[in-house]
A and B are shown apart, each in its own frame.
Chain A
Amino acid sequence: MTAELRARCEAIRAEYPDAQSALIPILHTLQDAYGHLTDEAVDEAGELMGMTRAAVEGVVSFYTLFKRHPKGKFHIQICDNLSCCMMGSGDIVKHLEERWGIREGEVTDDGLFSVERVECLAACGYAPAGQVNLRYYYRLTPEKIDELIAGLRQGEVASGERV
């Protein structure tokens, strides 16, 4: 852990009257820094919080946004709950796989993309909805996906859409 990262985590820890509250924000911070929660990150969080590895793992494993395995540089989440599935989220996932070779649970060879079907993103009126690195994209179509993926490959930033 860099001194800067450690300082940021210690500052988070100091913000909470009951120290364990800092664990989740610290895990977010470490994951943002490392891309996913590596074994080292879990141990570092434990050391910062005075918690055992098992206790930290117990929290990490409860939350779907915490990843113990590498993600792509652009992690795509496609909502597959009721309204999104009615509006064709399955076709979006299929398109990502067939047209772009982005398969669920895998990272593309160039390390750029990974995709995951997720539960309700609270964007049912803009279905099918998804996120890239937690930035929303609404009313997805295969064409829109093509444009998005092509742009990201050319170095665009995943800035998302405003509701």
Chain B
Amino acid sequence: MSECKVLLKHADVPGIETLSVYESCGGYAALKKALLEMTPEAVQKEVLDSGLRGRGGAGFPTGRKWSFLPNDGRPRILVCNADEGEPGTFKDHLLIHRLPHLLVEGMVISAYAIGAKRAYIYLRGEFLQGYELLEEAMREASEKGYLGHHILGTDYDLEIKLYRGAGAYICGEETALLDSLEGRRGIPRMKPPFPATAGLYGLPTVVNNVETLTAVVPILEKGAAWYRTMGTEKSPGTKIFSISGSVQRPGNYEFTLGTPLSEMIETAGGLPPGHTLKAVVPGGASCAYLTEEHLDVPMDYESLQAAGTMLGSGGMIVIDTTHCIVRLTKKAMSFFRHESCGKCTPCREGTLWMDQVLERLEAGRGSEADLDMLTDLSGNIAGRTFCAFGDAAVAMVASSVKYFKEDYLAHFELGGCPLEKEPVL
């Protein structure tokens, strides 16, 4: 099978970030079809029928998310979540910097489908060049009548605003993102009410990830039935996997969902010669580890859930035996400690404690009781926080104790790292 390029089909075409080249590759054909030949309801139905699931990490069916908007006459808002920051994930980075018009086209189609006349792109502050590229793409699209007033001569208007974040992982959580977009600290909101009923400025709002919105373009172009010929029953279509770590050709690769893990690693060049696989983080640092025994696992939402982990954002980190699992797990926990917004005590205090316990274990000053403490703390964070951050924070640690207990034992038997890795900074 190997790669199946749908979203990334034209990613390597020189100048694809410009409107003329994008159009010469068939760009904005889907927009014309949607706006000139279809009703918003028909577009919504196509996306619902395609079975497209949110590509940001949660995997919620996009068409269903759209269907939760109440029909109460209030103005609706579309927000694109471009706050990519899940460790291991760099797919939106590529989409924004190479294919800004694909995102603009996907947003106009999606906003038309849900009846939004205002849309926002919440872009992480570090994507400064991405901001400039999107700004230019939007300017070109407006000039050509693909965006703005009377799009393609219809009576549909859409304004898209770019909004730069300022550095906070939690703003990838959709309600924290909305708070940030309202000019406040990015702290998750109570759900319900969900953004569909009370989102930005209290208005009905849909928040979709960059990749999700770009996937709407080929779905409209070729139809839901075609989209469903790829992937599995519950995970239709293709997905971009960001593959990094111990592979010879790290990068973004697009596969049909359900492609086996081993095939993905091979496509990324496999491990460097003489290296042996230790672990794989399949979908960003919020996911539990997989090991060599999982190499045949089909990479789709349901199979990974069955394997005790998640497809997440598709940020795959391949780890070979020359890297210390305890060190990397500690690294991930330091990240979550740093990024906890501090709203919920189990997360705020728990990540701090777990980070300290892992620091001890990494330095070889821990004991077996510390492993029990990690398990205990994990259980007291997961499921006890406002948002999914708490569950995400403990997934790697809990699975490291499950699969790699020997590595922890070796650390305190030796009084340090058996691989002689320097402690994390």
Q: How far is the CB of A68 from chain B (nearest CB, A)?
A: 13
- Compute how far the CA of A151 lies from the CA of B93 in the bound complex, rounded to whole angstroms: 26
* Residues of the B chain whose Cβ atoms lie less than 8 Å from the Cβ of A121: 126
Asked if A64 is at the interface of the complex by the 8 Å CB criterion, the answer is yes
**9-residue interface stretch from B161-169, B218-226, B402-410:** B161-169
Given contacts A24-B183, A28-B125, A135-B128, contact A83 B168 (CB under 8 A): no
Q: Is B60 an interface residue (CB 8 A)?
A: no
In the assembly, what is the distance between CA of A46 and CA of B72, in Å?
A: 36
Does A155 reach chain B (CB closer than 8 Å)?
Answer: no
Contact status B164-A82, CB under 8 Å: no
Name the one of B87, B164, B186, B331 contacting A124, with C-beta atoms under 8 angstroms: B87
**Given A83-B245, A125-B250, A126-B250: A64 in contact with B201 (beta carbons within 8 A):** no
Are B424 and A85 in contact, with the CB atoms below 8 A?
A: yes
The answer to whether A82 and B251 touch across the interface, beta carbons within 8 angstroms, is no
A-B contact count (CB 8 A): 152
In the complex, what distance in Å separates the CA atom of A124 from the CA atom of B87? Answer: 7
Q: Report yes or no: A64 in contact with B124, Cβ–Cβ below 8 A.
A: no
Q: A83-B88, A86-B328, A163-B97 are in contact. Are A25 and B163 (CB under 8 A)?
A: yes
Quick check: A122 and B89 within 8 Å, CB to CB?
A: yes
What's the nearest-Cβ distance from chain B to residue A1, in Å? Answer: 19
Inter-chain contact B243/A125, CB cutoff 8 Å: yes
Interface presence of A5 (CB below 8 A) = no
Q: How far is the CB of A88 from chain B (nearest CB, A)?
A: 11
Q: Which residues of A contact B128 (CB under 8 A)?
A: 134-135
User: Nearest Cβ distance between residue B234 and chain A, in whole angstroms?
Assistant: 27
Q: What 1/0 flags go to A60-75 for Cβ under 8 Å of B? A: 0011111000000000
A125 touches B126 (CB 8 A): no
B181 at the interface (CB under 8 A from A): yes
B66 within 8 A of A: no
In the complex, whether B246 has a CB less than 8 A from a CB of chain A is yes
Which A-chain residue is minimally distant from B202 (CB atoms)?
A: A18
How far is B319's CA from A77's CA once the two chains are assembled, in angstroms?
A: 24
- Evaluate contact between B88 and A93: CB separation under 8 angstroms: no
Is A82 in contact with B328, judged by CB distance below 8 angstroms? Answer: yes
The answer to whether the Cβ of A52 comes within 8 Å of any Cβ in the partner chain is no
**What residue of chain A has the Cβ atom nearest to residue B396's Cβ?**
A82
B182 touches A20 (CB 8 A): yes
Question: Is there contact, CB below 8 Å, between A120 and B183?
Answer: no
Task: State the main secondary structure of chain A at its contact with B.
Answer: mixed
Interface string of B394-416 (1 = CB under 8 A from A): 00000000000000000000000
Residues B79-98 near A (CB distance < 8 A): 84-90, 92-94, 97-98
- Residues of B near A87 (CB, < 8 A) are 245
CA distance A119 to B425 in the complex (A): 12
A22 at the interface (CB under 8 A from B): yes
Is B181 a contact of A122 with CB atoms below 8 Å?
no
Minimum distance in angstroms from B380 CB to a CB of chain A? 24
Q: Number of contacting residues on A, CB 8 A? A: 48
* In contact, B184 and A134 (Cβ under 8 angstroms): no
Please tell me if A160 contacts chain B, counting CB pairs below 8 Å: yes
Q: Bits for A1-39, please: 1 = Cβ < 8 Å to B, else 0.
A: 000000000000001011111111101100000000000
**A83 touching B87, Cβ below 8 Å:** yes
- The answer to the question of A162 belonging to the interface, with a C-beta cut-off of 8 Å to chain B, is yes
**How far apart are the CA atoms of A163 and B252 in the complex, in Å?**
11
In this complex, what residue of B is CB-closest to A77? B126
User: Which residues of A105-131 have CB atoms within 8 Å of chain B's CB atoms?
Assistant: 117-127, 131
Flag if A123 contacts B90 (CB, 8 Å).
Answer: yes
A64 nearest in chain B by CB position: B167
The verdict on B422 contacting chain A, using a C-beta distance below 8 Å, is yes
Q: Say yes or no for B238: interface residue by CB 8 A criterion.
A: no
Given A21-B183, A131-B126, A15 contacting B251 (CB threshold 8 A): no
Identity of the chain A residue whose Cβ is nearest the Cβ of B82 in the assembled complex: A122
Q: Does B332 contact A (CB under 8 A)?
A: yes
Q: A82 — which chain B residues lie within 8 A by C-beta? A: 87-88, 245, 281, 285, 317, 328, 331-332, 335
Q: Is B10 an interface residue (CB 8 A)?
A: no
Does B339 sit at the interface, judged by CB under 8 A?
A: yes
Q: Which residue of A lies closest to B11 (CB)?
A: A163
Q: Can you report 12 A-B residue pairs in the complex whose CB atoms are below 8 A from each other?
A: A20-B184, A24-B163, A24-B166, A59-B185, A85-B424, A90-B425, A118-B167, A120-B87, A122-B92, A122-B127, A124-B87, A162-B97
Interface residues of B (CB under 8 A from A): 84-90, 92-94, 97-98, 124-129, 161, 163-169, 180-186, 201, 242-246, 250-252, 281, 285, 315, 317, 319, 323, 328, 331-332, 335, 338-339, 341, 422, 424-425
List 13 other contacts, CB 8 Å, given A118-B167, A120-B285. A20-B182, A24-B180, A25-B163, A59-B185, A62-B168, A65-B125, A81-B331, A82-B281, A83-B317, A86-B317, A86-B323, A119-B169, A163-B93
> Which A residues contact B (CB, under 8 angstroms)?
15, 17-25, 27-28, 49, 58-59, 62-66, 77, 80-83, 85-87, 90, 93, 117-127, 131, 134-136, 160, 162-163
